[in-house]
Structure 1
Amino acid sequence: MTRASPVARAASAARSVVFGPWGSGRSWLLDALAERVPGPVVRISGHPDGPRGPYGAVAELLAGLEAAGLAPALTGPLREVTDALVRRAVPPAGGWDPVAVRLAVAAALGAAPSARILVDDAQWLDAADVGILAGALRAVPARVTATEPRPGNALRLCGPRTTRLLLPPLPVDDVAALLEAHGLPARWAPSAHRACGGNPRLAVALAESLPADAPGPARMPSHALDAAADGLARLSADVRATLTAAALVRRPTAAVLHRAGYRDAAVHLEAAACAGVVEAEDDGTVRFTAGLFAAALVRDAGDPRPVHAALAAAVEDPVQAVRHRLLARDGFDAALAAEADRAAAVARSHGRREPAGELALLAARRTPPAEDGVRRARLRAAAADAGAGGSAELARRVCAAVEAASAGRAERVAALLAAVDAGGQALHALDDVLAAATAAAGDDPALAAAVQLRTAVRHNLGGDPARARAAAARSVELARRGGDRAGEATALTMLARMERITGDPAAANTLAAALALDVPVETVGVQRSPQYLAARHAVFDDRLDEARERLLALLPVAERRGDAEDLEEVLRSLAEVDVRHGACARALDWSDRAVAVCAAAGLSPGPAWYTAAVAQTAGGDLDRAADLARRAVRSSRREHDLVFLSRGLLALGSAHLAAGRAADAVTALREVAALEARQQVADPRVLRWRPELAEALAAVGATAEAEDALAALEPHPGVDRAAALCAAARRRYDEAAARFHAGAAGFAALGMPVEAGRTLLAAGRVERARRRRAAARTRFEHAAELFDAAGARPWSLLAAALLDRPAASAGTALTGTERRVAVLVAAGATNREAAQRLFLSVKTVEAALSRVYRKLDVRSRTELAGALAPRA
């Protein structure tokens, strides 16, 4: 978490103004600046608890200059005024003479040309202070830095020719680093970032107050809520009342709040926006910049039922109207509960699993005791929605409701398994929940089968395939005994997964048996379905066209069901397939979507970061790829997820190898080898790390070890490339040429142009080392053609460097939608106008524009127009 750049810019500027909302670090920047700049520093505070009344800030300036030994040699009336102000003496009956004060300040500043004047919270300065100081500073060359939330007094003090610095929110990466520094898991970073909004003060408060055994940042601790309340205290009571209503509605707008009785809603929301508490979206909705602000408002609001009653009549969405009616009253209401059931079904049909789960839970609470069976069904539905939506907080509430209602074993198991399903990759921390679910399931075979399935997943992620396989086999047996066809299909799928990993040829028959049960994917979810495992096996076996076809068929199912983890899985697999297929821009799009889904749902980030690293290595930026891979490794290591720890390390090793850091690649890939041995992974096709390790070892001169890594591997183009490098290291050049040719041809036959290009690149380097420049150039040119066509930007740059020519424009990697958005925006269209003309949502346009900026390496619409001009 660094602010080095704003500090450096402020230090180098003669006059600078630093903007940022409460908690953004303005005072921190002045502290850092005071330590960094040479010479004397005088600080003025405009905080309400600081100097008050006319000339309070002037007095603080004069006292600071005197303490620094910079007081001018004054006599007569100016000396008297200066001494009186420094002593904070009572002003005379008519007040201080403004002319004398102005002359005294001008004389003091003129005598201290080397001083740095720091003004904190300039928005609180008295008007008389601002007038005196601004006039005096115009006449002297003093160096000044002033801070405030928005342009105002600070600009008046510094004048028009000043450097303006905006303190942006912390990115999610910095929040992850802050959490890790406090011993908290990095997987909480997306949720924590939503909670604090990147506000540094809130981020620190959250990290300091979250216990390591907490279920996550969803349950915000009181210390963090108190910090948010401190920021809100700067707003008036009327503004806070309007904001409280906004915090209770899902998509607040000024119109909705106005209809709910908040007549000055538009004015109040503008005041909150000026304070950095809310932001207006393009569609008119209002969003809290930090979830902690909304939570603090609700905590401190008192009884929310009257507000919900007003909102029930104000919102346009009938589903939300039902939610507000439920929250506006207590007690049992069979009719309202049934209405909530129907609303939950509507939300569920649109893939909105968390809202559906909340409605189902509220419906269960309003169900009369006489309808016990209906209440139990609603609790089970709420649990299923919590698990599918990845909401640990909702799962916790469902567990509490089940306990309070003394529900049956089916409801208890469903609630406990929802907590497991919402736990992400860190299932090692949920052993007690699994044990409780096992006890609750008792002798019910169908319930016990569901528990054993999660137990298998837990052992798989923990690197114990033997126990995972045994648990999956027990799940199959129990599901059959209980007549649970869907449970049997998911258990067989898990068993086939473990058989494939351990190299058992029975995996194909087991998967076929699961597919033969013909259970719809919608029933069991994408990730647990045999259809998805069939797609993954096609990926392992390089049947890329089949894999892509299967995955594209599963994508709309994942989107309809609203299971965030399912959707992320499909998007990640599509990215992986398109990386290998040579559709790098498309792969980056898939991986971007996967990361966005992961962040929005608060899922464990390791898998999404791993896939993003793979996509970046193929078509983005190698430094970015290595950074993402490191994050994937840190997250997976903290969560004891050995499966994605291996994958993250492989991605890191591949990024290092591509960037020419062979020794670093060897370090990462050797750990992959150790992890795969520990996990007893016997099928080398599941994770193809051995050829990468062999290439890295050959590059550092460990040829014998490289050859050992390739020993007994089945024929594959990747093996050919690595073996060719080993042969070249031993000066067996004819053998190397034959293996390079076989590798390039093999990758081409599999439809993997980037890998074919990598092979040609390696062959060209060997030819160049042999001083066969014409042969080397031919291979480099062929590789460059493959990379340019695939949009493999890092590899295009490398090939171009080897050919000593400019690389193809990254714009060739723009998708059709990105190109159309770029052209419209470069021509002057706003995001909303571009969305209307292309029949897209504003958010889709924003996402596409972000990708365009990244691919073309531009930072503004002006730069975009310049980048597109040569292509026009």
Structure 2
Amino acid sequence: MLDRAAQEAVNQGDTSGAARLLWRALREPVANPSRALRLLGIAELVGNLPGATARLREAFQSDEDDAESAVALSYALHAEGKPAEIPEVLSGSSPWAQAHLAVHGLAWQEAVPSSVSLDTPAGVLHHVMVGDISASEAVQLVSADSTVSSLASAMTLNLADSLDAALALLDDVDRAQPPALRALTYVMRANVQRRKGDLVCARADLTLAGDHLRQDRRWHAVSTWHAALLADILLEESRLDEAALLIAEASTDEARRVWSYGGLLTVRGRLLTARGDDHDALEAFLAAGRHCASWPYRNPAALAWRSGAALACAAMGDGERARELALEEVSLARAWGAPRALGMALRAAGRVTAGTAGRTLLEEAVRVLRCSPARLELARALVDLGVVLRRQADTSGARASLREALDLAQKCGSSAMAARAYSELVATGAGPRRMRQTGPTALTPTEHQVAALAARGRSNEEIASTLLMPADAVEGVLSGIYRKLGVSGRLQLSEALDVD
């Protein structure tokens, strides 16, 4: 009875109450003391209560063949920032334990497994990050038989440009989870939306993630990833000072130890590039490369620091080094095979290559990105191609590219890219239409999330469950969305939001 009551308390978020019930249960004769200690330790871990690691270590030492106790202890060590102990705890041959070791390796260099099979989605994701498996091969191996499998598979699908499939998996993740896991789910959703170019929806997911992260500040890999994504969106909104402050605040000693710090360094490089500080931008991108060198992860779909470094080198006059960096990223992206990473690498290569060869690379980048859902990256490539076409006196071609780029950037919500496209379009001598002020960007973050879910066919009940809002409030939110977008119902939402 105490056990069942504790489980109910956990489901309701009352981890302190669950811990009290489980402490009381330990005073009774129990058939499996290791299990009782594990349940207590998990409740304390989820509730950020003292003693969780000691309790889980005791459970593990009382039965070292218990894979569940080993996995629970590994997450307690993760939360305490003690990754060096994790491989020994998960050293058993159980594929389940090895899958969790691969998950820890995505955050801590000390936990990266020396070898991992493709038997689990987490193992597949490890090989995806290493870059020794192609996107098409990886997509065939995803599954969703548990929360960990769903999250690992969603990340694989995200890197492989199967963005709608990734969102569908994340939409189905049980929201009745600890704050840290809910935060991770929303950060992953934001990452997918950012890759699609839906900055409004990405920001809304980051807001929800931030609410959960404030409840539990121990998970530095997630909070650092959150900061990198939010700073990136601030750059797209031309809010450079806010982005700089956020990057500085997030660059803690704890953050510098986790994989996602490489992403924060890359965003810092983009910030410095936007400010015209090419020397420090190059140092930031190269620092990201050095940080990543501690891991075996080379897939540019996960972190494209080389292209940023290439552009910084070119701006400083080192064209040879710029081309070496850009072409290395092109080679790695071709091996992976997903269009977003390849298109971004080709764009950088085109930017740092002079003459007809550079134009050819930019044209290929545009063709490749048209085959991906990455609309904002397509806008970038179109702007760069438009600039080259204008300089080569192809005015009509330049205007066509720049008008398309302007339209895409506005739909994505990137005021920085829209402003650049607009400025370059004016430079062609065209009389461009005024910058658009209406459309999806008029929606609030919550409205944008509701609209996106409804456009993907989710019912009101499913939307309410996903966003943790009252079911009877969804229809009212939808009515406001219809008015703002000028549509009559759900069937028109997909086109209005430009959702595939």
TM-score by shorter chain over 0.5: yes
Equivalent of 1:723 in 346, 349, 353: 349
Question: 2:245 aligned with 1:608, yes or no?
Answer: no
Q: Deviations over 1:278-302 (max 9, x none)?
A: xxxxxxxxxxxxxxxxxxxxxxxxx
Equivalent of 2:112 in 461, 468, 489: 468
2 CA distance for matches of 1:514 and 1:787? 32
Deviation at residue 671 of structure 1 after TM alignment: 1.6
Deviation at residue 585 of structure 1 after TM alignment: 0.6
Q: Deviations over 1:34-64 (max 9, x none)?
A: xxxxxxxxxxxxxxxxxxxxxxxxxxxxxxx
Residues 497 and 507, structure 1, Cα contact 8 Å, conserved in 2: no
Question: 2:49 aligned with 1:393, yes or no?
Answer: yes
Residues 41 and 52, structure 2, Cα contact 8 Å, conserved in 1: no
Equivalent of 1:365 in 12, 18, 23: 23
Superposition map of 1:296-307 within 5 A: none
2 CA distance for matches of 1:506 and 1:752? 19
Question: 2:259 aligned with 1:643, yes or no?
Answer: yes
2 CA distance for matches of 1:468 and 1:417? 15
Q: Deviations over 1:141-184 (max 9, x none)?
A: xxxxxxxxxxxxxxxxxxxxxxxxxxxxxxxxxxxxxxxxxxxx
**Paired letter, 1:606:** T
Deviation at residue 645 of structure 1 after TM alignment: 1.9
2 CA distance for matches of 1:608 and 1:839? 28
Deviation at residue 706 of structure 1 after TM alignment: 1.3
User: Which residue does 2:473 correspond to in 1?
Assistant: 839
Equivalent of 2:128 in 500, 503, 511: 500
**Paired letter, 2:327:** A
Superposition map of 1:437-476 within 5 A: 437=89, 450=97, 457=103, 461-463=107-109, 468-470=112-114, 472=116
Q: 1:585 to 1:459 in 2, by over 3 A?
A: closer
Residues 586 and 815, structure 1, Cα contact 8 Å, conserved in 2: no
Superposition map of 1:164-563 within 5 A: 338=1, 340-350=2-12, 352=13, 355=14, 357-367=15-25, 369-373=27-31, 377-387=35-45, 389=46, 391-394=47-50, 396-397=51-52, 399=54, 408-409=62-63, 418=72, 420-422=74-76, 424=78, 427=81, 429=82, 431=84, 437=89, 450=97, 457=103, 461-463=107-109, 468-470=112-114, 472=116, 492-505=120-133, 515=143, 520-521=145-146, 526=147, 528-529=148-149, 531-554=150-173, 557=174, 559-560=175-176, 562-563=177-178
1 CA distance for matches of 2:169 and 2:56? 39
Deviation at residue 609 of structure 1 after TM alignment: 0.9
**Paired letter, 2:192:** V
TM-score by length of 1: 0.44
Deviation at residue 581 of structure 1 after TM alignment: 1.5
Deviation at residue 707 of structure 1 after TM alignment: 0.9
Deviation at residue 594 of structure 1 after TM alignment: 1.7
Q: Deviations over 1:631-668 (max 9, x none)?
A: 44x23x53553411212112222333345443332221
**Paired letter, 2:345:** V
Higher relative contact order (CA 8 A, sep 6+): 2
1 CA distance for matches of 2:282 and 2:213? 30
Equivalent of 1:699 in 304, 308, 315: 315
Deviation at residue 750 of structure 1 after TM alignment: 0.9
Superposition map of 1:733-748 within 5 A: 734-748=356-370
TM-score by length of 2: 0.73
Gaps of 5+ in 1: 1-337, 477-488, 821-834, 849-872
Question: 2:380 aligned with 1:750, yes or no?
Answer: no
Question: 2:187 aligned with 1:572, yes or no?
Answer: yes
Superposition map of 1:642-721 within 5 A: 642-712=258-328, 713-714=330-331, 715=334, 716-721=342-347
Equivalent of 1:599 in 211, 214, 217: 214
Deviation at residue 787 of structure 1 after TM alignment: 0.9
Deviation at residue 705 of structure 1 after TM alignment: 0.8
**Paired letter, 1:393:** L
User: Which residue does 2:437 correspond to in 1?
Assistant: 809
Deviation at residue 412 of structure 1 after TM alignment: 9.9
Residues 265 and 288, structure 2, Cα contact 8 Å, conserved in 1: yes
Deviation at residue 790 of structure 1 after TM alignment: 1.6
Deviation at residue 708 of structure 1 after TM alignment: 0.5
1:727 is paired with a residue whose SS is coil
1:709 is paired with a residue whose SS is helix
User: Once the two structures are aligned, what percentage of the paired residues are identical?
Assistant: 17
1:385 is paired with a residue whose SS is helix
1 CA distance for matches of 2:447 and 2:100? 44
1 CA distance for matches of 2:187 and 2:28? 47
Q: 1:381 to 1:774 in 2, by over 3 A?
A: same
Residues 358 and 382, structure 1, Cα contact 8 Å, conserved in 2: no
Q: 1:368 to 1:399 in 2, by over 3 A?
A: closer
2 CA distance for matches of 1:430 and 1:836? 40
2 CA distance for matches of 1:511 and 1:736? 32
Q: 1:763 to 1:622 in 2, by over 3 A?
A: farther
Q: Deviations over 1:566-623 (max 9, x none)?
A: 3222222221221221211111111222222212222322121122223333457343
**Paired letter, 2:404:** H
Equivalent of 2:419 in 797, 800, 810: 797
2:8 is paired with a residue whose SS is helix
Q: CA RMSD in A?
A: 4.3
Deviation at residue 423 of structure 1 after TM alignment: 5.2
Question: 2:405 aligned with 1:783, yes or no?
Answer: yes
Residues 350 and 362, structure 2, Cα contact 8 Å, conserved in 1: yes
2:265 is paired with a residue whose SS is helix
